[in-house]
Structure 1
Amino acid sequence: MSDLWTSAEIAQATGGAASAPFAVSGVAFDSREVTDGDLFVAMKGDATDGHQFIDKAFGQGAAGAIVSEAVAHPHILVPDSAAALEALGRAARARMGGKVIGVTGSVGKTGTKEALFQALDRAHPGQVHRSVKSYNNHVGVPLSLSRMPRDAAFGIFEMGMNHAGELAALTRQVRPDVAIVTAIAPAHIEFFGTEEAIAQAKAEIFEGLEPGGTAIIPYDSPHVAALYNKAERHAAHILTFGMSADADVHARDTVPAAGGGTLVTAKLPDAELCFTVAAPGDHWVSNALAVLAAVHAVGGDLAAAGLALAEMPGLPGRGARHVVPVGAGQALVIDESYNANPLSMVATLKQLGRERADRRVAILGGMRELGSRSAELHAGLADALVAGEVDQAILVGVEMTPLADALNGVLPYSHVPDATSAITSITTEIRAGDAILVKGSNGIGLSRLVAALTNDAREGKS
């Protein structure tokens, strides 16, 4: 296996000076994540200074570091470590001869990125690189780029934003051959005012497209025209995806599959594919269609992609499903605890309504960054709870007060101040036969509730 970077290459890419020759096999900016052979990038932030963790990083096996002040370990000295990381990411993109796919959207970014990885890796094992976790911001994107092997056949990068102009900067670093917008929803609407403004900001991803590149946009979105108009200015090819027969990649038929997934017959511009989406829900069908459009655009193996989608498990915080013991029976816990906005809330509540269960329980945390529309959008979830045939709701956080008011006399609910209170509530109320959806903005901390349900044995009610 070749080195990821040599000290000479790092110095050339960043304009820094090497203290000694070395080679690295990985890159990290969090000393807690450093493993043998890594390059540690010591960055200065408002609260911490990575230079304070140099000794710890080398104690964990770092082979070299990027620093803005000299240290007693092999290093590349630069004026600004954050700028150096960005330069290293650009160099990684420049030397990569394969195809690069960029993914953004208000919902579905990480799931689509992971599904794309599985779809391409199925036919090209070990040759596909993708950003890990949700490293999708001004630091995470260059980190993910810098980690890309020089001989990768495909690179898949998630890009996020909460202000206009951020995606424009990220996409020019990634320089995608294919750029996907998964969906538009009022996520971060506090900073934009309207969904139309969010759509314009998401469409910035097309600005970085390579010559001959392809834009992939959601046909069923009310903002498809705005996305299409932006794509026309930057893309050589445009593919739409969705449930409508007018989309270039669409679901001709969908049938519930055993285990909660969906059997899909998809029509593409020059092919038809019957496959199963293992993850339950219409939103996952939509994600799968975007994946197929991207695989088609890069000339990938569609049959292998279909097999991968059938085998892909749910992601922690984004649809992972856990069967937990309760008394003499079991309950299903659906972990959607990582994030939430009105569109994703409605989609997951719809899927909850399809679950076979004696009782459907929705544990919903507040949705953040909704600005002046917060009360309206939270209260608006009442209809989705009713449509999802929810038997019991546990509402978490002060943001959920408008929804609590809207549910008075509609269905049984309790309103608790925080995740700790929600844990106490559900662990005393859980019953065998329950299907429990856990969803909220990450800052609410409902991942702790999922951990409490899935890691602890309990008797519960039966």
Structure 2
Amino acid sequence: MTLWTAQEAAAATGGEARGDWAVSGLSIDTRTLEPGDLFIALKAARDGHDFVADALGKGAGAALVSRVPEGVADDAPLLVVADVQSALEDLARAARARTSAKVIAITGSVGKTSTKDMMAHALRPQAKVHAAEKSYNNHWGVPLTLARMPRDAAYAVIEIGMNHPGEIAPLSALARPHVAVVTTVGPVHLEAFEDGVPGIAREKAAIFSGLIESGVAIYNADLDVSPILAQIAGAEAVSFGESDGCDWRLTALTAGAAGINCVAQAAEGKIFFKLAAQGVHFGTNALSVLAACHAAGADLAQCTLALGSWTPPAGRGARIFVSLDPAHPELGIDLIDDAYNANPSSVGAGLALLAASTPGPGGRLIAILGDMKELGPTEVAMHADLARHPAMDAIDTVHCVGPLMGALHAELPGDQQGQHTPDAATLAGQAHHLVGPHDIVLVKGSLSMNMALLVDAIAELGHSEGANSKR
């Protein structure tokens, strides 16, 4: 299916189309480029113009450039523009203008990618859904997602993130959502906000500024900063959470071996739903999904049914059973792969999930935690404070990775102290000493800590099973 013709792309960007081409997708990386894609020569860690010749050689339908790179023929299929990033944003605006899809935008300090995936999963049984790939939520990820939107999409789920003040509003204006959701607000990227979490709340709430005229703002009402969200969202906003007075209120959650079962109350009546995932935070996020799907006009019963088969992706709470002995399938390690990112809120949620778990005979509850980054001047104290998290009382052993987690290690009682290593690779080399049969193990840390090495090292101790057994 044609996504963009040369004429359409030139009209959208004001650029010069060289050749009469048509493309079926967009790519910013030659390693994942598909034949027929428009290669976008963005300037990031490397200048994308250096890879245009390679992209065309791999079958790219055309390339979006601000100059003709060396080694590229004069008659090569190109779209030449003044600035590649601006042109990508122009394509995004044109794609948004031509679509009839209901657009749902999501942000939050924790859980926005999982909630985005959950939202798309809930909607797919009833219509064609376009959703952001991976965590494409920044200044190039949002326009890339919009510009990739198929003409016949019925729903689009757009994830919007930030590192600094002033980032969310322009991205929301680009998306022009029908529904905008703030999953939660927590101490993330604190070093960029002088007034701390309240400043983060105001930045997250900026997603509501891009709503179309009749759009619906949805926010978490269980937070200390919920009044800030409510004020910015406006009188017609929709709230969700466990607090009294929520428009969509989670009234019960029970955990079982196959996942969680939830009961909620809304204006539509009592709602029962389940997830093939563990964790109270997933239940709350699922409630926001149902509220958003309903606001977007989707069939709530179908969305509720679809949620029952949703599982977290690798690195975001996926459960992996590592079988240690094929002759005894029950003998193994239950591994919680939450290694993609970390901040005090998400680590607390992970610890609570671990503490609520029950290991097998002789098994232990083990947390392997890596540094939490971008927390500002109080980062050492925030790491040390994890020792006093209520869930810590139930956890047998805590292994720490990185210099900041050294503060936590020093605060732990001796019988709870595990290893403390400077990096994940060092601890991964000791994986066979860290865990044993019937243990339940949580692995979590900021992305730059490369905690996935520990997930892989533990998984390689045996025969991993289940839908999320491979990264």
Counterpart-to-counterpart distance in 1, 2:112 and 2:292: 13
**What residue number does 1:23 align with?**
22
Q: CA deviation at 1:453?
A: 2.1
Counterpart-to-counterpart distance in 2, 1:121 and 1:319: 22
- Taking a change above 3 Å as real, the CA distance of residues 62 and 385 of structure 1, as seen in their structure-2 partners, is farther
Task: Work out whether 1:82 is the aligned partner of 2:81.
Answer: no
**What residue number does 2:129 align with?**
128
Counterpart-to-counterpart distance in 2, 1:204 and 1:23: 36
Q: Which deviates further from its counterpart, 98-107 or 265-274?
A: 265-274
Q: CA RMSD in A?
A: 1.6
Task: Work out whether 1:350 is the aligned partner of 2:385.
Answer: no
1:348 maps to amino acid: G
Q: CA deviation at 1:336?
A: 0.3
Counterpart-to-counterpart distance in 1, 2:85 and 2:66: 9
Counterpart-to-counterpart distance in 1, 2:6 and 2:188: 41
**What residue number does 1:451 align with?**
456
Native 8 Å contact 2:95 2:149 kept in 1: yes
Counterpart-to-counterpart distance in 2, 1:257 and 1:437: 18
- Taking a change above 3 Å as real, the CA distance of residues 166 and 136 of structure 1, as seen in their structure-2 partners, is same
2:14 maps to amino acid: G
Task: Work out whether 1:430 is the aligned partner of 2:429.
Answer: no
Counterpart-to-counterpart distance in 2, 1:272 and 1:93: 35
- Taking a change above 3 Å as real, the CA distance of residues 401 and 385 of structure 1, as seen in their structure-2 partners, is farther
Counterpart-to-counterpart distance in 2, 1:392 and 1:412: 6
Counterpart-to-counterpart distance in 2, 1:404 and 1:279: 29
1:340 maps to amino acid: A
**What residue number does 1:419 align with?**
424
Task: Work out whether 1:370 is the aligned partner of 2:382.
Answer: no
C-alpha offsets along residues 90-137 of structure 1, whole Å, 9 cap, x if unaligned? 11111111210000000010010000000111222xx11011100100
2:39 match: secondary structure: strand
Which 4+ residue blocks in structure 1 deviate beyond 4 angstroms? Answer: none
**What residue number does 2:173 align with?**
172
Q: CA deviation at 1:263?
A: 1.0
Q: CA deviation at 1:270?
A: 1.9
**What residue number does 1:289 align with?**
287
**What residue number does 2:214 align with?**
212
Segments of 5+ residues of structure 2 without an aligned counterpart are 465-471
The share of aligned pairs that are identical, in percent, is 43
Query: Which residues in structure 2 correspond to 1:19-58 (within 5 Å)?
Result: 19-45=18-44, 47-58=45-56
Of 303, 307, 310, which residue of structure 2 is paired with 1:309? Answer: 307
1:148 maps to amino acid: M
TM-score, with length taken from structure 2 = 0.93
Query: Which residues in structure 2 correspond to 1:64-213 (within 5 Å)?
Result: 64-70=62-68, 71-72=72-73, 73-124=76-127, 127-193=128-194, 194-213=196-215
Native 8 Å contact 2:322 2:463 kept in 1: no
Segments of 5+ residues of structure 1 without an aligned counterpart are none
2:179 maps to amino acid: V
Q: CA deviation at 1:428?
A: 2.4
Counterpart-to-counterpart distance in 2, 1:202 and 1:228: 12
Query: Which residues in structure 2 correspond to 1:4-19 (within 5 Å)?
Result: 4-19=3-18
1:75 maps to amino acid: L
Counterpart-to-counterpart distance in 2, 1:388 and 1:7: 62
Q: CA deviation at 1:31?
A: 1.6
Counterpart-to-counterpart distance in 2, 1:214 and 1:44: 35
Q: CA deviation at 1:455?
A: 4.0
Counterpart-to-counterpart distance in 1, 2:311 and 2:305: 12
2:271 match: secondary structure: strand
1:304 match: secondary structure: helix
Native 8 Å contact 2:429 2:457 kept in 1: no
Counterpart-to-counterpart distance in 1, 2:450 and 2:101: 39
1:276 match: secondary structure: strand
- Taking a change above 3 Å as real, the CA distance of residues 393 and 243 of structure 1, as seen in their structure-2 partners, is same
Structure number with higher helix proportion: 1
Query: Which residues in structure 2 correspond to 1:367-406 (within 5 Å)?
Result: 367-384=372-389, 387=392, 389-406=394-411
- Taking a change above 3 Å as real, the CA distance of residues 155 and 24 of structure 1, as seen in their structure-2 partners, is same
2:28 maps to amino acid: F
